[in-house]
Each structure stands twice: as structure tokens, then as C-alpha cells.
Structure 1
Amino acid sequence: MTAFATIGLIGRLDNERARYSMERLITFLQSRQLDFTLESQTAAVLGSDAAVGAARQVAELDSLGRHCDLVIVVGGDGSLLGAARALTSYGVPLLGVNRGRLGFLTDITPEDIEEKVGEVLDGHYLEESRFLLNMEVRRGGRLMGRGDALNDVVMHPGEFIHMLEFELSIDGHFVTSQCADGMIVSTPTGSTAYALSGGGPIMHPKLDAIGLVPMNPHTLSSRPMVIDGNSEIKITVGQSRGSKAMVTCDGQIHVESRTGDEIFIHKKPQKLTLIHPLNHNFYERCRTKLGWGGHLLD
């Protein structure tokens, strides 16, 4: 008996390899006589193929959580990030098949689809909880924009490169004022993404912590910080010589801010459940994806 009865399928099918992997996955689910629901844009790319006709139904991304008890994402980490933001509130777990470049989150290789997905469906898998960040931009107390992020919330100059002035407060306590290209506020999940490129620390996914990584700060004493995961972060946008600062969630949601705006960031109450094959190992992922050295005696 399978551990999951109804499967949701999401795919970024912008190339033939990704489309082939999705079709292969659908064929495998059919061989197991499992119901599956296609996300609407995925179905549109597949067109009128037999795969679409075999689907139990086609649903919008944000409603998949009402129809499925597992969602499989075929694509890169960006595809899984988008699915996570849309589906976390439903509590539906996500499983990733990697058709992107790095694949920190989508950890089943295309060659292993039948074997590894089959193991998951048979109940042989690891379950991991990840938290997201909630971001709000407020102007004079009025909400101007909001977003969620599994990886990071980034304040940056936007289209034009220039220094930003801002103040950082944590849990109501003033921390520092800075001139920098911006600030990366990262979850442990995002610590191996943009924050890592910015010189931030790698955090194990099980940590209840948030990383703060200043981007090219105009002082040698400015360093990344790791704070408690339940902290309330406030960034107050300072003078920026007429230019606007942008606030981005996972590189996919963009909110414009102005001088005097307050950016509030805190942990989202609902958590994401990621499903991994039994052989998943965070440190092995770091070795293979980041090019770390292997055993000296091998």
C-alpha cells in the first residue's frame, strides 16, 4: 500500500529533458495505478498528450494542496521555492526531481525517478521540516507589499548599483546603521544559496536560526550574524539619493521601498515538509554541490 494516495505534479518544462522526466514520472505513477493532479501551467506545456488525459484533474498551483497529499516538483530549486511558498499553508509535503543546475532542494536525479520515487511511495523516506520567512514593507504604518521566502529576503539597489543606507533592529533593539549594497536575511535553507555567495555561513537545515549577511558593506568591521529563528527583524530604509531600494523574496517576489519605509521580517508560522530519499545526507550534498574534498585515504 502506498504512503500517498493522490500525487500533485508541478514541472518547469522549458526544455525537452525536463518534459521527458515529467512524462517518465507520469508513466511510472500510472504503472502504480495512482491518481495524480497536474498543475495548470504544467498541463498547458504538456498540451493534449495522453499524460494530461490520464490526470485525475488539472488545478491551479495554489489549490493543489487541497487535492493532494504529496506534490512532486520536476525542475530546479527555483521551481521548488515557488511551490513551497504556494503550498506551505496546506501542509502538503514536497518532493523534488532535479532538472536544474545545483539541486540542493530537488535531490532525486532523473536517472533514479522510478527507484527513488517508488521508495517514497512505499513509505521509505526521510521527512524534514523547513521554515519560511514572512516579509512586509510598511510606509507610515501602511502595508505596501509583502511576500514569503524559503531561501531569503534581500534588500538591494535594484536596477542601478549604488550604496544603500539603512538601520537594523532585532526584537525592538537597535543594532546598527550601515551603508552597503543591501542586506540578505537568510533561512538555514537559503544559507547555501545567495547568502553563501555573499560570504554568509552555511547553516544546517535543522537549526532554528536566521542569518544576516550585509552585501559589500562600506566598513571592514561589518560581519554576518546568526540570530535566533524567532527574532523579529526590522530594517529601516535610509537616504538613498533619490533611488529606491528593492526587497526581493527568493528572487521571485519584488517590492519597491522608499526612504523611511520599514521592512519587517519574521518566521512564518506554517512550516514546509520536504521529503527526501533514505540516502539523503546534507553534508554529502555540500561535498558534491560545492566541490568540497573527499576522504584523504580514498
Structure 2
Amino acid sequence: MTRYNGSEIKTTGLIGKFRDPSVGHVLEKLSANLSQRGLRVLFDQETAAHVQNPVPEALPLEKLAAEIDLAIVVGGDGTILHVARTLAEHDVPLVGVNLGRLGFLADIPPDELFEHIDDLLGGKYRIEPRAMLSAELIRDGEVIGSGTALNDVVIYKGDISRLIDIETWIDDQFVNHSRGDGVIVATPTGSTAYALSAGGPILHPELPAMALVPVCPHTLSNRPIVVRDQSAIRIVLARSSQQAQTTLDGQICFPPMQLNDAVVVRRSKHDMKLIRPYEHTQYDVLRAKLNWAQ
């Protein structure tokens, strides 16, 4: 964790919640404030459609990420998941503004936005590198699907109401053969998402680890396990009469799995750089989101 040097910011990118007109007013005020500070402001092209007045410049997300020093994401955790993959590839840090309830990632309320912008540009923020996952679907030795995820890679039974049989291997070492609704491979960031609702452990964001969490296992002794984040995890579909799907962050879907197909999950070479106020800790967020001590 390191201090973020806000004085190095020259160009900012504004990204709003997908297809949500309510973000327009906040983005207009934010754009005006940043422009008054002498910063170049670029809008995500899809976001610009929700702003009534003309925007300074608008670019597709991929081109936007190549131009900016900082992304300000207005929406919530889902919006951050949507853009994290692209921003991480370009090593662009982001800060999240939450328009709803406090999020695990987007934790700045809009009524405190400009106060936080002052702190951000003044270097009163820190960078939290968040590990991401790289996943490949392999069939007969060929990669037929690939992508990255910030939260999790999920192999699940799809639309059928039957259990699936899977084999789990870690670093080419056999772990188990299991039956259930599926399995979640989660980052520390993703440990408070789907994996948490499936009974998985909460991992601190700085922990170099991944969690494997079974979803509704037929054998109750099949419990979540935590492995080092340098491991290669291979999940193999073990029965041909079944169907299985793979999703990344609930947003990317691989082709349906067939018998002996394998999903291989590793830590990605890219991290997402999340910028947070110094006074906000992971434990503050957990207390607020999980209603601890209430």
C-alpha cells in the first residue's frame, strides 16, 4: 500500500454507471470542478450519452484508458467490475463514487465528492493493488475462451437442475472429485462477493491468496480452501451427460463446457489499482456492509 501522488494527475477519465441517466448531474458537476483545476477531462463514450450538456471530449473505454492518469467511476461496485479489466491492462488507477449504499470498492458518497477530490489531488489517498484472475477454457489442448476477473471465476451447473461432477487440480496435484452446483475461485476482493454467500472465508485484500469455494456441495465435508495466489487451479468437467457454464465476474461467459474440458485459473499479470482515502479501512467497510456489532 503506497501513498497516491495526486500532483501527477494531468488527465482524468469519467465513467458512469451503464445505462443510468441519474449519473449525468453528478458527472457534469465533477467535470466542471476538475476543469477549473486545470485538468483535462475525458468522458467514457457510453457515459457521455447521459450528460445533457456537451462534454469536453469522449472516447471509447479502451482508448480512454490509454489517455488518462486517473479514472473516476461513478456508480457502484458493479460499474467498477465492468471497467476494471480494461483499466488494469493500462495500469490506470481508479477511485469509486457510490450513488447507492456504501460499496466494498466504491466508498465515496457523492455529497462528499469534492472534499475527497481535494484530498486526492493533495496526496491524502493511498493505492491498494487488487489482484485479478486470468482464466482459460481449454478443450483438446486448445484455448477456446479466455478473460480476466476482479472478483471471481465461477463454474456452475447452468440452467439444468442437476449436480455436476468436477475434478479439482492445484499445481498439477489432484485435490478431489466433487459433486454439487459448482465451484467459485475468488480473489481476496471477490471473497466478499458470491464466495461469501456460498460460505467462503473473508480474505484481506493484501493477502496473496485465492479461495476455492464449493457451491452447494453434495458432500458436506467438501469445504472451502485457501491457496497461494501463484498456484494454477484446474477445474475439469468429469461427466459427459452434464452441462456446465463458466462466468467471470458474472459479466463474461465462456462457451458451455463439455466432457474433459478444463478451466485453468491463475493470478493475472495485471492488478487493479484502487485509490481509497487514508481514513477508510477494510474493517470500516466490513462493519458497515455486514452490520457487525449491531
User: Does TM, normalized by the shorter one, top 0.5?
Assistant: yes
Instruction: Compare 32-41 and 163-172 and name the one that shifted more.
Output: 32-41
TM-score by length of 1: 0.92
TM-score by length of 2: 0.94
Match of 2:3 in 1: none
CA distance in 2, matches of 1:15, 1:249: 23
Cα deviation for residue 160 of structure 1 reads 2.8
Aligned residue type for 1:99: L
Residue-by-residue CA offset, 1:4-41 (whole Å, 9 max, x unaligned)? 11001110154454222222211221232321111110
Match of 1:33 in 2: 38
Aligned residue type for 2:154: V
Cα deviation for residue 65 of structure 1 reads 2.2
Relative to structure 1, the CA distance from residue 133 to residue 76 in structure 2 (aligned partners, 3 Å threshold; closer, same or farther) is same
Match of 2:196 in 1: 196
2:164–2:243 Cα contact (<8 Å) kept: no
Match of 1:292 in 2: 292
Match of 2:234 in 1: 234
CA distance in 1, matches of 2:100, 2:198: 21
Relative to structure 1, the CA distance from residue 160 to residue 102 in structure 2 (aligned partners, 3 Å threshold; closer, same or farther) is farther
Match of 1:2 in 2: 7
Cα deviation for residue 258 of structure 1 reads 1.4
CA distance in 1, matches of 2:18, 2:118: 22
CA distance in 2, matches of 1:64, 1:244: 38
1:248 and 2:247 are equivalent in the alignment? yes
CA distance in 2, matches of 1:66, 1:184: 32
Aligned residue type for 1:113: L
1:151–1:187 Cα contact (<8 Å) kept: yes
Match of 2:104 in 1: 104
- The percentage of aligned residue pairs carrying the same residue is 42
1:93–1:275 Cα contact (<8 Å) kept: yes
Cα deviation for residue 293 of structure 1 reads 0.7
CA distance in 1, matches of 2:210, 2:18: 33
Match of 1:174 in 2: 174
CA distance in 2, matches of 1:97, 1:213: 30
The within-5 A match list for 1:37-52 is 37-46=42-51, 49-50=53-54, 52=55
SS in 2 for 1:257: coil
Instruction: Compare 166-175 and 98-107 and name the one that shifted more.
Output: 98-107
Aligned residue type for 1:169: W
1:77–1:100 Cα contact (<8 Å) kept: no
Relative to structure 1, the CA distance from residue 160 to residue 76 in structure 2 (aligned partners, 3 Å threshold; closer, same or farther) is farther
Instruction: Name the count of aligned residue pairs.
Output: 288
Cα deviation for residue 102 of structure 1 reads 5.0
CA distance in 2, matches of 1:161, 1:23: 47
2:160–2:243 Cα contact (<8 Å) kept: no
1:3–1:123 Cα contact (<8 Å) kept: no
The within-5 A match list for 1:82-231 is 82-231=82-231
CA distance in 2, matches of 1:285, 1:185: 22
1:128–1:273 Cα contact (<8 Å) kept: yes
Aligned residue type for 1:178: S
Aligned residue type for 1:28: N
1:18 and 2:50 are equivalent in the alignment? no
Aligned residue type for 2:282: F
CA distance in 1, matches of 2:100, 2:205: 21
SS in 1 for 2:46: helix
Residue-by-residue CA offset, 1:131-186 (whole Å, 9 max, x unaligned)? 10000001101111111100000001222332110000000100000001000000
Relative to structure 1, the CA distance from residue 225 to residue 183 in structure 2 (aligned partners, 3 Å threshold; closer, same or farther) is same
CA distance in 2, matches of 1:13, 1:139: 34
Aligned residue type for 1:251: G
Aligned residue type for 1:176: N
Gaps of 5+ in 1: none
RMSD over aligned Cα, in angstroms? 1.5
Residue-by-residue CA offset, 1:47-69 (whole Å, 9 max, x unaligned)? 5x13x1xx2x2111122221001
1:171–1:232 Cα contact (<8 Å) kept: yes
CA distance in 2, matches of 1:104, 1:252: 18
Relative to structure 1, the CA distance from residue 247 to residue 100 in structure 2 (aligned partners, 3 Å threshold; closer, same or farther) is farther
Aligned residue type for 1:235: I
Residue-by-residue CA offset, 1:223-254 (whole Å, 9 max, x unaligned)? 0000001000000112153x421100000000
